[in-house]
């Protein structure tokens, strides 16, 4: 069998969470990687991300555990409260995840995770990272794939053994491969802000993850940045939409929408600045792999954030695609076909469950009474239904 080191590099398009992780997973298996990112630098944008054990185990396996355990926090529990009256419906422990699934349930700022991945990529021999570059053409030749990389002013041709598109929600690579389908506005808008943890009134128990349910929206809070900051994300319905991650939000409008959330108003009123972004969704793509070219992460299957699995699925994809390629390094087309076969049903299940959660979270009264009763009955067993999600392991 040809050793991965003897092959042309694997070209990865997009240095987001998925692209950085797959570069590390491939390098760990001996492949050389050419990672290209369209932006000229990685910006410190985004909000908190939840890294459930299915994802944290992979990052720990890549040697990121020490750096992540400093930046991330391990919340004691997932609490579910009714936003209108602060009633505690359920408290499910998260601290027992290492015992149950062999890895922690972390919450982390997206920028911290991205920086830790980037530092490791920069410190890994065998990965070349170029900013300001994207793929404009791919052609198959007898020697492998000839890829045209375009920057602001120049083009260059490079050879690649295989190509992985980790270029996010509006994947240019999927379009290049002939899939014109587009992600569509979901009708939800996310609001995000952070506060110093010292400014958070104790009743909000900042060492826990809390999910607030209400008919006008839902919210999630947890600590980030090694416990120094408190992350708030609120999701409301919004007809208008705009692409981008860092638009400023009108706090007065948010407070008006959530005016019935009386117990939370003192917290929301403290936020000096809200960032907003429109949430997009897409029907599952039927195909991710095109011979020696494949997609991963949001490029393949964007997920509404109502299960907190967007980053986790991208990380699982990264580990799986590297695993399949390492099993048959000479045959990327077959490796990518098996990768798709193994990942597509799971990603589709998560996409569908997340979509359903969105409607359940926002149920109006009196339907919300039945939902609340079910959550109350489950209480500390609330997450027991998610063993299939958190207990994921690499396929054979």
Ligand X SMILES: Cc1cc2nc3c(=O)[nH]c(=O)nc-3n(C[C@H](O)[C@H](O)[C@H](O)COP(=O)(O)OP(=O)(O)OC[C@H]3O[C@@H](n4cnc5c(N)ncnc54)[C@H](O)[C@@H]3O)c2cc1C
Q: Enumerate binding residues for ligand X (CB under 6 A).
A: 13-19, 36-39, 45-47, 49, 110, 134, 166-169, 172, 245, 297-299, 305, 310-311, 314
Q: How far is the CB of 22 from ligand X (least distance, A)?
A: 9
When the beta carbons of 19 and 214 are compared against ligand X, the nearer one is: 19
Among 348, 352, 361, smallest CA distance to 233 is for 361
Structural tokens at position 353: 């469950």
CB of 363 to ligand X, least distance (A): 23
Decide whether 110 or 225 has the Cβ nearer to ligand X.
Answer: 110
How far is residue 229's CA from residue 195's CA, in Å, rounded to a whole number? Answer: 6
Give the separation between CA 124 and CA 26, rounded to whole angstroms: 11
Catalytic residue among 222, 290, 339, 361: 222
Report the nearest approach of ligand X to the CB of residue 1 (Å).
30
8 A C-beta contact, residue 217 and residue 234: yes
CB of 61 to ligand X, least distance (A): 18
Q: Which is nearer to ligand X, 10 or 89 (CB)?
A: 10
Kind plus residue range of the DSSP H or E element containing 267:
helix 265-269
Respond yes or no: is residue 222 known to be catalytic.
Answer: yes
Closest to 28 (Cα-Cα) out of 124, 123, 119: 124
Token pair of 131, please?
């900013």
For ligand X, which is the closer residue by CB, 246 or 377?
246
Name the helix (H) or strand (E) containing 116: helix 110-122
Distance of alpha carbon 14 from alpha carbon 26, whole angstroms = 15
Q: How far is the CB of 75 from ligand X (least distance, A)?
A: 16
Sign of CA dihedral 260, 264, 268, 274: negative
Nearer residue to ligand X within complex by CB, 278 or 368: 278
- CA 337 – CA 40 distance, rounded (Å): 32
Neighbours of 183 (CB within 10 A): 17
Q: Which residue is nearest to ligand X (CB)?
A: 16
Enzyme catalytic residues: 222
């Amino acid at each position: 069998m040809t050793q991965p080191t003897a092959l042309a590099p694997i070209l990865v398009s997009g240095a987001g969470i998925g692209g950085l992780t797959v570069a590390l997973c491939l390098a760990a298996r001996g492949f050389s990687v050419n990672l290209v990112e369209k932006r000229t630098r990685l910006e410190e944008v985004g909000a908190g991300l939840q890294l459930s054990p299915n994802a944290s185990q992979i990052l720990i396996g890549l040697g990121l555990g020490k750096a992540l355990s400093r930046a991330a926090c391990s919340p004691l529990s997932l609490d579910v409260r009714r936003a209108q009256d602060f009633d505690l419906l359920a408290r499910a422990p998260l601290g027992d995840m290492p015992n149950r699934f062999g890895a922690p349930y972390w919450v982390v700022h997206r920028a911290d995770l991205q920086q830790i991945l980037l530092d490791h990529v920069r410190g890994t021999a065998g990965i070349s990272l170029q900013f300001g570059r994207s793929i404009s053409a791919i052609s198959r030749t007898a020697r492998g794939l000839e890829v045209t990389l375009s920057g602001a002013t120049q083009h260059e041709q490079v050879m690649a053994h295989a190509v992985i598109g980790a270029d996010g929600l509006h994947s240019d690579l999927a379009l290049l491969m002939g899939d014109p389908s587009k992600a569509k506005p979901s009708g939800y808008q996310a609001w995000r802000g952070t506060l110093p943890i010292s400014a958070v009134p104790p009743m909000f128990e900042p060492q826990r993850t809390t999910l607030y349910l209400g008919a006008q929206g839902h919210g999630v809070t947890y600590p980030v940045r090694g416990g120094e900051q408190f992350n708030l994300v609120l999701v409301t319905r919004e007809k208008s939409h705009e692409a981008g991650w860092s638009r400023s939000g009108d706090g007065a409008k948010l407070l008006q929408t959530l005016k019935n959330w009386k117990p939370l108003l003192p917290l929301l009123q403290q936020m000096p600045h809200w960032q907003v972004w429109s949430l997009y969704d897409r029907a599952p793509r039927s195909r991710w792999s095109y011979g020696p070219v494949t997609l991963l992460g949001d490029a393949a299957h964007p997920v509404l954030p109502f299960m907190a699995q967007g980053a986790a699925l991208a990380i699982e994809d990264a580990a799986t695609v590297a695993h399949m390629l390492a099993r048959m390094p000479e045959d990327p087309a077959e490796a990518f076909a098996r990768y798709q076969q193994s990942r597509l049903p799971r990603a589709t299940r998560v996409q569908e469950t997340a979509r359903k959660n969105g409607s359940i979270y926002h149920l109006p009264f009196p339907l919300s009474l039945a939902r609340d009763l079910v959550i109350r009955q489950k209480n500390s067993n609330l997450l027991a239904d998610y063993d299939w999600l958190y207990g994921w392991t690499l396929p054979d």
